Amino acid sequence: MIPKASQRGGGRDLATHLLNEFDNEYVEVAEVRGAIADDLHGAFAEWEVLAVNLTRCRNYLYSMSVNPDPEGGPLAREQYLDYVRRAEKALGLEGQPRAVIFHIKEGREHCHVVWSRIDARQEKAVHIAFDREKLLMVTREFAREHGLSLPGGYGPDRFDKRREKVSLYDRAQERATGLTKEERKLMVTQAWQQSDSPRAFVRALEEMGYVLATGDRPYVLVDIYGGMNALTRLIDDRSVKTKDVRAFLEKEFPPESLPSVDEAKALVAEHRKAREQFAKARDDGRQKEQLARAQAARREQVLTEQAAMKERQRQEMEALSRAQLAVRQQMRAEFRAEMARVRQQRDDARPTGLAAFLGRVTGMNLVIARVQRYRDAKRYLAFRERKQDVAHSQMVERVALKHRHDLQGVEVARKLKGLDAVDARERKALEEKRVREQRIIERSGHQHMPAISLEMKPGRRRASVRKAQNRYQDALREREERQKAEAPEQREERVLREEMERAEAMLAPPVETDIALRAEFTNAADDGRSDEESSSGGDDSGPRITRATRSSERGQDRSRRRGDFDRER
């Protein structure tokens, strides 16, 4: 069991890294505890909100990766969770929100655990000190109880040999170049030992993909991928000092005549761009299409969930509208029924005969009518107030439902945004893989990077990269693209012209190339003979022109031309 842990922030980037399915064959979010959201982006965002509003903690997360020892074999899920519980108790993170993710990368299963350090009840971050020593003790106890052997560096001999640690910069250079630091040091050291002159040494560096530049140090090497190292640090020879390197190079390559580091990076970037454009043009794009299909299938699940959510929200809103309309209609019907009942009751109690006459005469009917109108007005005001209360309560219900729907929409939008980040990370990983594979292909058969063609101009001017981009252009591809861009009329005219030229070439008579080879050979042989050979041997039918005769004739011609020139003057 090999744990690696650290306190960190940047929950969004961490969630995107943990959900990257391109670099991992299998990704499983096994547990999300202490968060409303059920996904990593949402959970980490909640924990970040708590950290910002309750504390001043910046590294609000504690991330740990648990890798089984390759020599001990894989672990079961129960063993992973047991180790996580032991580490959680030792670090003082019991009960804290956490997320557990399982990965399978290159056939190797491992586990990631992320805790929130923010204690919401006490409104402070959990202090974690000496976490490496605590995890070391947990690993020993876990290995002893589960019958596992301790990996290298966990036994009593961990202090016997000091292990060399590789810096993050060296790891980045190793990923970019495909060569370890030891391999690069070996190549540069061999070039130094085998070069008998500064120019030969610089040329050897160029063949290995380096440009000699100057920066904070007199001599700096910039590789074709933009990495930078001091020249003396790549010469693995303790007898070679900085002054020795400077004394060897400054006669022909003084520091002031070399390009700066930024200029050298620009030069190698131009050279590298031409290579990468050519390699990218030859890429068939299958991996990119395959990744796009996988991302589309993963996104389709969230889009289906979003569509189902919108349909459910629409149905909920329609059901609420129907229920509220029914309440209003029922209240209106009750009011109308009450008014009808009151009118019927009044009609039944209306006096007739002498009582009606006395009521008109005495004015009691007017008093009764006013009292009835007052009661009707009061009854209507009560109905209107009730109607307003119902309308207000229904509006509150609609607003609450709309707010809940908006929150659901925000959650789905956040998931889509997280998918966008994961998709971008996977596309970046695919491009890095393509470039890394192309670089491996470029240096196939060689233990060094591709050579950089530089020419040193006279007067010790700065080095400049040759225009190599035209060298990698595909003339056939450009011709096909030009032909595709032609209009139909231009294409027909071009095809007809090519056919006519081909027909004319076929019908043209052959060129007469009869040469008197014997006569020409004889003349050529006679030109190489001496004067004596010319006078004694050969054909006696006519006088032969010797080299002396030709020289005298050339002298007479020059004298004649000089005399003509004098007469003209």
Average pLDDT over residues 250-256: 83
Q: How many CB atoms lie within 10 A of CB 457?
A: 10
Tell me what the pLDDT averaged over the chain comes to.
79
Average pLDDT over residues 217-240: 84
* 546 or 397, greater pLDDT: 397
Distance of CA 35 to the CA centre of its chain: 29
- Identify the pLDDT of residue 268: 82
Indicate the pairing of strand 228-230 with strand 220-223: antiparallel
Q: How many CB atoms lie within 10 A of CB 43?
A: 24
DSSP states of 537-562: SS--SS----HHHHHHHHHHHHHHHH
**pLDDT-based confidence at residue 100 (cuts at 50, 70, 90):** very high
Retrieve residue 247's tokens.
Answer: 């004394």
Looking at the predicted structure, is the pLDDT value of residue 166 above 80? no
Q: What pLDDT digit, counting tens, does each position of 355-396 carry?
A: 888 888 888 888 888 998 999 999 999 999 999 999 999 999
d(CA 198, CA 120): 66
Lowest mean pLDDT among 283-287, 430-434, 479-483: 479-483
Q: What pLDDT digit, counting tens, does each position of 459-486 carry?
A: 334 444 333 334 344 555 566 667 667 7
- Identify the pLDDT of residue 554: 53
Contact 61, 11 (CB under 8 A): yes
d(CA 39, CA 102): 14
**pLDDT-based confidence at residue 262 (cuts at 50, 70, 90):** confident
Where do runs of H (alpha helix) occur along 228-349?
A: 242-249, 261-282, 286-348
Task: Return the SS3 of 398.
Answer: helix
Identify residue 386 by its one-letter amino acid code: R
SS (H, E, C) 89-114: HHHCCCCCCEEEEEEEECCEEEEEEE
- Identify the pLDDT of residue 161: 47
Positive or negative, the CA dihedral 360, 361, 366, 368 is: negative
- Identify the pLDDT of residue 497: 78
Looking at the predicted structure, is the pLDDT value of residue 453 above 70? no
Indicate the pairing of strand 210-213 with strand 220-223: antiparallel
**pLDDT-based confidence at residue 9 (cuts at 50, 70, 90):** very high
Lowest mean pLDDT among 32-46, 99-113, 250-264, 478-492: 478-492
* 550 or 202, greater pLDDT: 202
Contact 3, 135 (CB under 8 A): yes
Average pLDDT over residues 74-101: 92
Average pLDDT over residues 101-128: 92
Contact 435, 276 (CB under 8 A): yes
d(CA 471, CA 463): 19
Average pLDDT over residues 243-256: 84
Domain extents for the chain?
2-159, 287-442, 474-507, 512-531+544-569
Identify residue 88 by its one-letter amino acid code: E
Residues whose CB is less than 8 angstroms from the CB of residue 254 and which lie 6 or more positions away in sequence, other chains included: 460
Out of 3.30.70, 3.30.930, 3.30.450, 3.30.160, which CATH number does the structure's domain 2-159 have?
3.30.930
- Identify the pLDDT of residue 196: 83
d(CA 102, CA 25): 11
Lowest mean pLDDT among 17-26, 119-128, 497-506: 497-506
- Identify the pLDDT of residue 23: 87
